[in-house]
Amino acid sequence: MIAHSTFFYGTGHLTVQQAIAIGTGLQKGDLSQETIARIEQSQRHVQEMTEAGRTVYGVTTGFGILANKKISEADAALLQYKILQSHSVGVGNPIPEEVAKIMLITKVHALAQGFSGVQLQTIQRIIWHIQNDVIPVVPEKGSVGASGDLAPLAHLFLPLIGLGEVFYKGNKYKSAEILNQFDLQSIPLGPKEGLALINGTQFILSFAVKAVQRMHNCLEAADIIGAMSLEALTGTKAPFDERLHGLRPFKGNLLVAQRLRLLLQQSDIMQSHVDCGRVQDPYSLRCMPQVHGASRNAWLHLKELTEIELNAVTDNPVVFGAEDTISGGNFHGQPLALPLDYACFAAAEIGNISDRRCYLLLEGKWGLPMLLMNDVGLNSGFMIPQYTTAALVTENKTLCFPSSADSIPTSLGQEDHVSMGSISGRKVNRVIDNLEYILAIELLSACQAIEFRRPLKSSALLEFAHGFVREHVSFAEEDRIFAEDINAIKHIISDFSFVEKVNGFAEEKGVGLNKGFEAFGL
């Protein structure tokens, strides 16, 4: 449980867990006096360079291919207003409010480090949006993931100048309506502010934050559900032996093997077939440490790079002093685009192996009834839910083309290599959407199958998991609308309650499922 403490933007080290905690109200984000002084100093630097007539990209020049167009001091502020208007070209459905809110949080943390030259009141207004849950409407499409997430960030900050739309208390409003309701005025942007607001990777980053959180939950669930399927299929735990995995010590593999050993310990079902004569289990049971573990490694890579980006300055130009600015490429999304695509494949593979276990549960082998129902023929049993996993797995495969492998020139060739990381970020979350359903169907099937092993019991942890599912979905004696069951179980996976409940019970029993693997936690 995260304490209700204050995180100070621009100074503290922001983690994925803290970004989510601020977004959900479990933690407050604010500015320290030290940070305020740094922000004000940076803004003075920009004011000085403007008054001195120095040529600085985006401050006294146009943008992109228009970098050689000189802008007068008188028009410097108007230029920043216009950049928010001209770059608001996003299309498609709005992104989830929680993602847009994380965009606000991550942008404040980047700006508050004092290298962007924005006004204090601008940052304070963004914090006001966060604290009052007045969340800008941001279209999902339009960013190529370089020069910053220009279009989505432009939409994100239109409300600062009284334009665009916001979500508030479940409804969508014109930004001006909400500003009037709170008796607030729009912000008069100063030199460089519009550029500072739209230069950055916060769209990619915020989808990465959600992917880290959601994929972690799916990985935790997959181990528990896979163990339940193994029990139902009377598989062996021998392939999870610590000695075996010590010979190929990938960290993710070691963790998953440890978790499976602990999840299966003291199981009556496991003990009942020790001398059954079966030599090997199918790969989807036997190779869970190798497959789930490889996806764990991909997740850890994404988490580590996401937390670097969470604390980075991705503005351009970066202001080091009144006469010291650097126009570089910190806004380029490639550092996250690649690991997001890697995580996309890794999430899809968890779905692939889960679908294979669903299929095994239906075959009618090793003492289970075909299609997991005694009276089939009149009943189709659990045949058709596996059609859904097959469809979702195939859809995920089509989503595995790496967006970061593509690039297309923009700004008349000035911006001639782009990351497409914005698409990577959205896409991995679509794969996770499907994965949650696939895991729900495996969990539904495994719980059904385990009941055919009665009166034998599984381990205490897996019996607890089974009991929690049965609070939401009952054993199926005959066909019914299984979509209702699937949705009910998908909900307890996607709201994190399934994993949280099992982990909580494990802690009560003194079982440290992830002990020694702190880096893999959230």
Q: How far apart are CA 49 and CA 57, in angstroms?
A: 11
Q: Are residues 216 and 271 in the same domain?
A: yes
Residues 6+ apart with CB under 8 A from 493: 217, 218, 221, 436, 439, 440, 443, 499
Q: Which helix (H) or strand (E) holds 264?
A: helix 251-264
Residue 403 and residue 424 in contact, taking contact as beta carbons nearer than 8 Å: yes
CATH number at residue 221: 1.20.200.10
Q: Are residues 382 and 278 in the same domain?
A: yes
Q: Are residues 189 and 241 in the same domain?
A: no
Residues 6+ apart with CB under 8 A from 66: none
- Predicted pLDDT of residue 2: 44
Q: Are residues 107 and 125 in the same domain?
A: yes
Q: Smallest Cα–Cα separation from 153: which of 196, 110, 208, 96? A: 196
Q: How many structural domains is the chain composed of? A: 2
Q: Which helix (H) or strand (E) holds 139?
A: strand 139-141
Residues 6+ apart with CB under 8 A from 304: none
Q: How far apart are CA 433 and CA 355, in angstroms?
A: 15
DSSP 266-294: T-HHHHHTTTS------HHHHTHHHHHHH
Residue 422 and residue 333 in contact, taking contact as beta carbons nearer than 8 Å: yes
Residue 487 lies in a domain: no
Residue 290 and residue 353 in contact, taking contact as beta carbons nearer than 8 Å: no
Helix (H, G, I), strand (E, B) or coil at 349: helix
Q: Are residues 247 and 388 in the same domain?
A: yes
Q: How far apart are CA 156 and CA 142, in angstroms?
A: 13
Residue 482 lies in a domain: no
Among 200, 218, 234, residue at a domain's last position: 200
Q: Smallest Cα–Cα separation from 310: which of 209, 211, 215, 423? A: 209
HSE, side-chain direction, 13 A CA sphere, residue 116: 31
Q: Are residues 295 and 358 in the same domain?
A: yes
Per residue of the chain (522 residues), give pLDDT as tens: 344 689 999 998 999 999 999 999 999 999 999 999 999 999 999 989 888 888 777 777 776 666 677 777 777 778 889 999 999 999 999 999 999 999 999 999 999 999 999 999 999 999 999 999 999 999 999 999 998 899 999 999 999 999 999 999 999 999 999 999 999 999 999 989 999 999 999 999 999 999 999 999 999 999 999 999 999 999 999 999 999 999 999 999 999 999 999 999 999 999 998 877 787 999 999 999 999 999 999 999 999 999 999 999 999 999 999 989 999 999 999 999 999 999 999 999 999 999 999 999 999 999 999 999 999 999 999 999 999 999 999 999 999 999 999 999 998 788 889 999 999 999 999 999 999 999 999 999 999 999 999 999 999 999 999 999 999 999 999 999 999 999 999 999 999 999 999 999 999 999 999 999 999 999
CA angle 210-214-220, nearest 5°?
A: 150
Among 136, 168, 200, residue at a domain's last position: 200
**What tokens appear for 213 in the block?**
């959180």
The CA–CA distances, whole Å, from 25 to 21, 98, 327 equal 6, 11, 36
Can you give the residue range of the structural domain that contains 270?
Answer: 208-314+331-407+416-439+510-517
Residue 176 lies in a domain: yes
Q: How far apart are CA 63 and CA 68, in angstroms?
A: 8
Among 200, 234, 259, residue at a domain's last position: 200
Residue 457 and residue 267 in contact, taking contact as beta carbons nearer than 8 Å: yes
Q: Are residues 164 and 249 in the same domain?
A: no
Helix (H, G, I), strand (E, B) or coil at 91: strand
Ordered alpha helix ranges (H), 453-496: 460-470, 482-494
- Predicted pLDDT of residue 37: 98
Residue 323 lies in a domain: no
DSSP 378-434: TB-TTHHHHHHHHHHHHHHHHTTS-GGG----BGGGTB-----HHHHHHHHHHHHHH
Strands 28-30 and 6-8: parallel
Q: Are residues 184 and 212 in the same domain?
A: no
- Predicted pLDDT of residue 3: 45
- Predicted pLDDT of residue 79: 85
Q: Are residues 180 and 241 in the same domain?
A: no
**What tokens appear for 327 in the block?**
């126009």
Q: Are residues 60 and 173 in the same domain?
A: yes
Q: Are residues 72 and 187 in the same domain?
A: yes
Q: Are residues 40 and 181 in the same domain?
A: yes
Q: How far apart are CA 55 and CA 42, in angstroms?
A: 17
What positions carry a catalytic annotation?
57
